Amino acid sequence: MSSAPLPANPDQASGPQHVAIIMDGNGRWAKARGLPRVAGHRRGADAVRRVVRGAGELGIPILTLFAFSTENWTRPADEVADLMGLLRHYLRNELEELRKNGARLRVIGNRDGLAGDIVRDIADAERMTSGNTRIDVNICMNYGARDEIVRAARNLAKQVAKGEITVDSIDQHSFERELLTAGVPDPDLLIRTSGEQRISNFLLWQCAYSELVFVDTLWPDFGKEHLEQAIAEFRRRERRYGGVGS
Residues forming the active site:
24, 72
| 70 labelled binding-site residue | yes
| 71 labelled binding-site residue | yes
- Number of H helices and E strands in the chain, helices first, is 8, 6
Structural contact between residues 103 and 137, judged by C-beta atoms closer than 8 angstroms: yes
| 43 labelled binding-site residue | no
| 112 labelled binding-site residue | no
Estimate to the nearest angstrom the gap between the alpha carbon of 78 and the chain centroid.
Answer: 24
| 33 labelled binding-site residue | no
| 219 labelled binding-site residue | no
| 29 labelled binding-site residue | yes
| 69 labelled binding-site residue | yes
| 96 labelled binding-site residue | no
Name the nearest CA neighbour of 43 among 193, 184, 235: 193
Contacts of 124 (CB under 8 A, 6+ apart): 91
| 37 labelled binding-site residue | yes
| 26 labelled binding-site residue | yes
CA atoms in the 13 A half-sphere facing the CB of 28: 12
**Helices marked H in the chain:** 26-32, 37-57, 77-93, 95-100, 116-128, 145-161, 172-176, 224-236
Q: For residue 2, how many other CB atoms are within 10 A of its CB?
A: 9
Exposed e or buried b per residue across 109-119, where buried means at least 16 C-beta atoms within 10 angstroms of its C-beta: beeeebeeebe
Binding-site residue positions for substrate = 25-29, 37, 41, 69-71, 73, 75, 192, 198-200
Binding-site residue positions = 24-29, 37, 41, 69-71, 73, 75, 192, 198-200, 211
Binding-site residue positions for Mg(2+) = 24, 211
